[in-house]
Structure 1
């Protein structure tokens, strides 16, 4: 045993010495060490979006047609959305003293689906994995209805909607775990003015994908000790010239969104490289410099960076489990530059500019 331990120690020392000898002096930059050399890389496009539910009444969902056509032509094999996964929300529910407001605001309630299927989130998550591992090339409508019900029980409503959209209209009915309540949930979700219902789910269905992947993360959330003072400090920081420029540009871009070309112009502007610095100057950079005694702005920026890092790690895990595919990430525009920067540090991720589809 001693001989074996000594050998391991010597091997470790030799490896450390060899690494030190071969490395040039200076900073280690993982984003510059790309691979693999002989396999298809993971192409990731991060599409910054407006939250469609917050657009003016003049926005028409039909005006997304050209954007959706271009995204479909890019042929992503994975679609990732700014939603919390069912398992994350199940975790958050275990700590109501910290996450009660987060759950109420951001988590979908799977209770009706649990009542219909008898599956809680862990059981439904395991069943989703089991079903998809043996998923046939030509599933029956009954199988799709059942999978939709299980996705709902697992807290994955957008993936359930993908299955619903893949059914013929005449097959969108109750049965196989979907009761009338859950059918109503899916129909209501299908009509929702959101990027999930109007872009992600229809795109996944059109591409023949079986699901989407939620990657948002709210584990950095915590109750504010003094919400009034915290809000006042941030509002003061955000009252700056960069914010005024940003609001003015937003008003102009959102003035006429019934036309597909105007919607495309909105997405071009939100994804333009120059937008990253404008967002920083108006929001996070301004918050860093706010001068409250409690340093509220620094706490806010720490939360924002932590959330984005965890979002990036969730995307990385998803991409890593399905290597060599194109991945489309649909996320609020303020997240885009952070996710681009963080994901570009990954060895086998190549960031694809949105100009590829928006130009």
Structure 2
């Protein structure tokens, strides 16, 4: 080892700096609970939202003051749209086109986002139904559908109608979202409305996405990853999911599934079946390492988005709802933050 390398090793060993151990703060700390979830879009059509009630009851009992979701902000989607050579597929898959809301309100994503911020900074203690309809329209124009649904659900059913910026098209959109099989719309938004929150926090990030250079490269990468994912750990995950999915409509079946998805032993199972397998796939192009690099970068940026929100109003209790594969990465990264205290999901799901 060179003298410079020896110096670096000695320096790092002697520094002993671990930000995750330095948690002394003035006032109440930020508490964060990360709930790993399956993507409800994959659940059968026969599934009914009321089957989630036991989960919502327990999460409400923890009384989060903010709820973050795996959704891209309108601001990031606006930026991604400006670079179609890299992000065209990302925009197609993850960014709702807010054109109907822009037409109804006359505001683009940037203007609507700024308007939302100004409005909430002076939000009345007892907003009228018209206030909520107007805010729902602004949220839609800012491409924040989850927060728009929160406002819609906070309205009495008799007040869920067009007006104050909502036209018939936007009303139909909100009514569609109420029943859409998606954890943002069936878990996060109803929970926020029940708790009296005004919005959700969009914390996903896809700026690390990269387009393949051509169809041949995309095909080769896909084949390499599929081969890596064909392993015993993946087979165990699939078998467990099949068993858990059969019980979601029975008794505490939904709670059983969420307790399993959030159990500590899932962290290594997920790694072995997915990212660990990808890191060791043997293609000369290192497709698996490309994929793992994207995954770690995405999670780091999601963690940064969460930390940014917590920094604005210290002392929050935040629930983060993300796909189960994100959960343990986010917990590891967030635990490095001085002003974050992780809360075990078993506290809420027992």
Are positions 1:271 and 2:259 aligned together? Answer: no
Give a deviation string over 1:124-172, Cα, whole Å, max 9, x none. Answer: 0110000000000100101100000000001101100000000110100
Are positions 1:336 and 2:336 aligned together? Answer: no
Structure 1 contact 84–215 (Cα < 8 Å) conserved? yes
Are positions 1:208 and 2:196 aligned together? Answer: yes
Are positions 1:165 and 2:165 aligned together? Answer: no
Task: Single out whichever of 321-330 and 51-60 deviates more from structure 2.
Answer: 51-60
Backbone CA RMSD of aligned residues: 1.2
Instruction: Map residues 107-146 of structure 1 onto 2, 5 A cutoff.
Output: 107-146=95-134
1:254 alignment partner, SS class: helix
1:218 alignment partner, SS class: coil
* Alignment-derived partner of residue 346 in structure 1: 337
2:123 alignment partner, SS class: coil
Deviation at 1:52, TM superposition (A): 0.8
2:64 alignment partner, SS class: coil
* Alignment-derived partner of residue 87 in structure 1: 75
* Alignment-derived partner of residue 11 in structure 1: none
* Alignment-derived partner of residue 184 in structure 1: 172
**Larger Cα-atom Rg:** 1
State the alpha-carbon separation in 2 of the partners of residues 312 and 58 from structure 1.
34
Aligned residues: 336
Deviation at 1:260, TM superposition (A): 4.5
Are positions 1:320 and 2:311 aligned together? Answer: yes
* Alignment-derived partner of residue 29 in structure 1: 18
TM-score, normalised via structure 1 length: 0.92
Structure 1 contact 60–257 (Cα < 8 Å) conserved? no
In structure 1, the gaps of 5 or more residues are 1-22
Structure 1 contact 113–152 (Cα < 8 Å) conserved? yes
State the alpha-carbon separation in 2 of the partners of residues 24 and 135 from structure 1.
51
State the alpha-carbon separation in 2 of the partners of residues 117 and 100 from structure 1.
26
State the alpha-carbon separation in 2 of the partners of residues 180 and 117 from structure 1.
13
1:25 alignment partner, SS class: helix
State the alpha-carbon separation in 2 of the partners of residues 39 and 218 from structure 1.
34
* Alignment-derived partner of residue 6 in structure 2: none
Give a deviation string over 1:173-208, Cα, whole Å, max 9, x none. Answer: 001100000001100011101111111001100111
Give a deviation string over 1:224-275, Cα, whole Å, max 9, x none. Answer: 2311000000000001111111111111111121125110010011000000
TM-score, normalised via structure 2 length: 0.94
* Alignment-derived partner of residue 223 in structure 1: 211
Structure 1 contact 238–283 (Cα < 8 Å) conserved? yes
